[in-house]
Structure 1
Amino acid sequence: MLKLFTSNRQTNNAIAQAVKSLSQYEIDIRVQEHFITFLQNPDSRSLYHANPRLIAEQLQLSERDTLKLLVVALKEGIVTLNWDIQCPMCQGVDFAATQLGKLKSFHVCPVCRHKHQSDADHQVRVTFSIDERLRSLPQEANDPEFRNQIDAQYGVVSGHRLLTLQMFRELFPRETIPPNESLLIRQVTILFTDLAGSTALYSQRGDSQAYSLVRQHFNLLFQIVDRHNGAVIKTIGDAIMASFTSPDDGLKAAIAMQEAMQYFNQQFESTDPQLILKIGIHAGACISVNLNDRSDYFGTTVNTAARVEGLSQGNDIVFTESLLSYAEAITNPNNYHLYKSSANLKGLSEPLTVFHMNVSSITHPLPSN
């Protein structure tokens, strides 16, 4: 009995010391204390393939902040990440994919042998376990009935949700599926931006100052995308491509971008060239792929979003009908002027209905980190 007590005490001390390393990521002390309590939970079932939404409740955090905490804890070796796959036929969960790099385009259920496409929105979900180097869990921690009850109560966090977390992409840039494989994304909102008149900006302000302004505008956009539950997939010249699991988050991010850019431009003289932001948004299905050793998106939805951004005149937002049913931001007419048009886009056989949103002049402070 004394040996067991000593072992538990050593384990708890090791957990507490490990969690203290999260201070370098500016994790609040109160959150660290809650996290330590969670990891020391005598009920080991809560620590084996744990649902992030259960963890969020225990830590009194939002889902977004909980995922950020878990990602930095993963970086520090406190937890392990699991890419669990649920079979759509028998509903059994396969724990074999311990890394994103082990997922394939198609998955064969080890129980019923049903073959299905790897669906990052519905079948692939993420869970977290305490690293066995900190705490070795007993066999009874693997309790399928307990996990099913938790999932039914809280819902699950899809693999796609983690792929749209900016911190995950930054801390694990090489965490991708294998080359020549793909994950099905049933619903993604793709946002493209670009700067209008950037050639004139560089000519009139000079390369050094113009580049500095472009970098500042990138920092603003990155902050806004992250704050609205999205991730910047890549930058292309003066442009960015971002993704969101929610159309509403994507449109709210676009509005926040234009408002921030209006305020940003107020620091310049009226005769100075302004940074004019163009934004296009489209939502639909696509696939997640490994491109240049980074997670990327591919398909008609991505191409359409890029074409829609080309319809923007600057200081506006252009989006397609695909957002209308989901984006609550559209219901507030005080923040913009909205009108509809039809456009023929390259690569599409039929004209596409698009909506142009001109954001009202607003002098909000610049967003903080």
Structure 2
Amino acid sequence: MEKTLEIAHELTFDRPVEEVWTLLSDSQRMHVISSAGFSPYEAEDVVTADGSIERAAVKSIGPFKLRWRERMGEWAVHEYFSQARLFESGPFQELTVHAYFDESDGKTTIKALFFAKWSGLLGSALARLGVLHWMTRQPVIAMRKTMAEYENLRLPVPRSELHTVSGRAKQRLAQAMKEIEKGPFGQGLTEPLSNFLLKADPHSLRRIRPLKLAGAWAVPEQHMIELCIAAHKAGVLSMRWAIICPRCRDGKADTENLADVPSGAHCTSCNVDFDRDFVNNVELVFSPSAWLRALPSGSFCMMAPANVPHIKWQEVIPPGQVVDKELDVPQGQYRIRTVEAGSEIIADYDGRSWVGVTLNGEAVQSDPARSGRLISVRNVGTDPRTIVVENANFSRNRLTIGRLATVPAFRDFCPDQLLGAKQTAGIGQVAILFSDLEKSTSLYESIGDASAYALVVEHFDFVETRVRRHGGIIVKTIGDAVMAAFSDSEAALNAALDIQNEIGEFNARDDRPALSLKIGIHEGTCVAMRSEQGLDFFGGTINMAARLQSKAAGKEIVLSADLARSDLRTKIAQYDTKWDKASLSGFEKPVEFVRLHC
């Protein structure tokens, strides 16, 4: 005879729901840092008949070897989540948890409902002995411990060190960090990073994302990137490249070297194949080296909502039913799809109205006639479908080769991280600076080739120092010219201003001819390819920057019109500027630009 039991628990925390959700919907991290008796299990993704994925898992608890399947959970961000396990062996047939979040006066109450089902004598005996009540108390204990262990929910470092690290490993870490701090890339962040590596839970350390840490710790992204790369060089961190699944956003096909990143990958969790895209879905992540922290393998649940923050709503829609849902999300572009294989649509949410959605088998269709404040999803098919509403844009926290290509530490410490001989990588926005000497021919004639060349090489060092000061790199030198790259145009302009403003000091050294520099700057996308120097950049952005430099006079910086009208316009207004227009080689129409005289 089939028997069931429902058990309820309620907790209240003096925190807003956004903060509580961030921690307690991350069941993997919550279980790892708690002492509630949880341990990871081995799982395999299995494709079902309808194209969805279930996770088949095996775990031994005492004398029992449990086998179960769990489907992807259901949740609405900041509101609820649920997860069910359907057992194929063991004393119980089903264990399901539903957690509901409610905020009032800055406090968040969580109502956790647990449902158990069994039919055998062993299940009845365990229920009478209070085992089910004990089992349901463990997640509650984990929730309380998780909240208590964090000094600040924005910093992923627990209050105390929960994980055993040998004294020898701590000493080795301290010495490595001391050496890093002596160099240019410590930035005063070595102590926080050491604390994080020693105290953070293993789940947080599996994929350390420097840009995410920079946001959490409110420090410049460039500093955090350089620190992680320096820590890799010191042997503290290991690095690997992953192709990010466009659906679950989890990393697949990990490789240690950029050249080995495959052209595509398969995500077993989503049952989709996808291509490599260096601009969007190939990222560099870090983890502690094995001598410092050996991370356990295995999983705790199929998909914790906090681990996929781009997914705002996920829920099963039964056939023939309509679900109207209010979502707590900002305006923006959202992808609407199903967990099961099928099509998808992109919806622009203006903060007031959603487009209606119809599910018909594998088809996901928009229905403007049912647009409204609530998102209305109708399943007209014969099978249940799991709706997914997710942020359509990839997270900016991804550290891609486009961002790394302009980081000095990456070029200094990772010379082996190169694209394959025939690989090209599309690079997102990058600012390119070209500088060249004015009247260099007369310089060689006046002091001779050897002396002029020595002076030119010395001037290369002068330019590189100012470029690196503002977080840029020298891509290459071409004759007397320098090509530099920066992650943003403001850094490029600041470097150019320092070069022009400080060249006088350079010229004042010894008794030698004064050098006058011409500089051009443009920002845009480009393509990276392997070169003898590491990575070289090609494309229209490079050509435009070079052509703008050719129009500059000595002591001038020439900026493309787009840059001059961007966020740089306030800074540019402080200088003597002149708008100009000219035909540039390789460009059909005359190009408008601004001359900035220093």
1:342 to 581, 586, 589: 581
Encode CA deviations 1:244-286: one digit per residue, 9 max, x unaligned: 22122222222221112134334567xx532111111122221
CA distance in 2, matches of 1:29, 1:277: 31
In the TM superposition, what are the counterparts of 1:272-283 in structure 2 within 5 Å? 273-283=513-523
Greater share of residues in strand: 2
2:496 to 254, 274, 277: 254
**Residue 284 of structure 1: which of 520, 524, 528 is its match?**
524
Would the alpha carbon gap of residues 80 and 95 (structure 1) be closer, same or farther in structure 2, given more than 3 Å must change? farther
Matches within 5 A, 1:68-83: 68-83=226-241
Match of 1:135 in 2: 293
Cα distance in 1 for partners of 2:587, 2:300 equals 50
Give the structure 2 partner of residue 238 of structure 1: 480
Equivalent residue in structure 1 for 2:204, among 29, 42, 46: 46
Which structure ranks higher in relative contact order (CA pairs < 8 Å, sequence separation ≥ 6)? 1
Cα deviation for residue 126 of structure 1 reads 2.6
Question: What CA deviation, in whole Å up to 9, does each residue of 1:291-344 have, x standing for no partner?
Answer: 23621111122122212211112210112123134342x313564221222221
Query: Residues 326-337 of structure 1 correspond to what in structure 2 (within 5 A)?
Result: 326-328=566-568, 330-333=569-572, 335-337=574-576
Give the match for residue 159 of structure 1: 401
- Residue pair 1:194, 1:238 contacting (<8 A) in 2 also: yes
Counting only pairs closer than 5 Å after superposition, residues 1-369 of structure 1 correspond to structure 2 as: 8-22=166-180, 25=183, 31-56=189-214, 61-89=219-247, 91-94=249-252, 96-103=254-261, 106-110=263-267, 111-116=270-275, 118-120=277-279, 122-139=280-297, 145=304, 147-148=307-308, 155-267=397-509, 273-292=513-532, 294-328=534-568, 330-333=569-572, 335-359=574-598
Post-superposition shift, 1:124?
Answer: 2.8
Query: Is the deviation greater in 71-80 or in 29-38?
Result: 29-38
Alignment-mate amino acid for residue 322 of structure 1: D
* Residues in 2 aligned to 1:136 and 1:84: alpha-carbon distance in whole angstroms: 20
User: Match of 1:363?
Assistant: none
Cα shift readout 1:121-143 (whole Å, capped 9, x = no counterpart) = x3333321111233211236999
Provide the aligned length of Structure 1 versus Structure 2. Answer: 351
Say which SS state the counterpart of residue 40 (structure 1) adopts.
Answer: helix
Residues 212 and 397 of structure 2 are in contact (CA less than 8 Å); yes or no, is this contact kept in structure 1? no
Distance 1:238 1:29, change over 3 A: closer
Is the CA contact 1:34–1:59 (under 8 Å) kept in the aligned structure 2? no
5+ residue gaps, structure 1, are: 360-369
Quick one: structure 1 residues 334 and 348, their matched pair in 2 at CA, closer, same or farther if it must change by over 3 Å?
closer
Moved more, 237-246 or 260-269: 260-269
CA shift for structure 1 position 59:
7.1
Aligned residue for 2:410, secondary structure, equals helix
Change in Cα spacing, 1:176 to 1:333, as seen in structure 2 (3 Å) is closer
State the distance in 1 between where 2:204 and 2:191 align.
17
Normalising by structure 1, report the TM-score: 0.82
Deviation at 1:211, TM superposition (A): 3.6
Find the residue that maps to 1:332 and give its secondary structure. helix
CA 1:147 to 1:227, structure 2 compared with 1: closer, same or farther past 3 Å?
farther
Please give the alpha-carbon distance, in whole angstroms, between the structure 2 residues aligned to 1:334 and 1:97.
Answer: 47
Query: C-alpha distance in 1, partners of 2:522/2:482?
Result: 14
Letter in structure 2 aligned against 1:290:
R
What is the rounded CA distance, in whole Å, between the counterparts of 1:294 and 1:142 in structure 2? 41
Amino acid at match of 2:506: F
Q: Distance in 2 between matches of 1:29 and 1:247?
A: 22
- C-alpha spacing 1:346/1:27, structure 2 compared with 1 (3 Å): closer
Among all aligned residue pairs of Structure 1 and Structure 2, give the percentage whose two residues are the same amino acid: 30
Q: 2:240 is aligned with what amino acid?
A: N
> Which amino acid in 2 is paired with 1:231?
I
Matched position secondary structure for 1:128: strand
Which of the pair has more CA radius of gyration? 2
Question: Contact between 1:34 and 1:58, CA under 8 Å: does it hold in 2?
Answer: no
The residue type equivalent to 1:340 in the other structure is: W
In 2, the alpha carbon distance for the partners of 1:27 and 1:302 equals 28
Which ranges in structure 2 are unaligned for 5 or more consecutive residues? 1-161, 311-393
Tell me how far apart the structure 1 counterparts of residues 247 and 163 of structure 2 sit (CA, whole Å).
Answer: 45
DSSP-derived class of the 2:419 partner: coil
Take 2:431 and 2:300, find their aligned partners in 1: how far apart are those partners? 36
Distance in 2, matches of 1:235 and 1:24, equals 29
Q: One-letter code of the match for 2:539?
A: G
Decide which structure has greater helix share: 1
Alpha-carbon offset, residue 358 of structure 1: 1.0
Alignment check: 8 A CA contact 2:564 2:572 kept: no
Q: Report the more deviating stretch, 5-14 or 30-39.
A: 5-14
Q: TM-score, normalised by structure 2?
A: 0.52
* Contact 2:264/2:276 (<8 A) preserved: yes
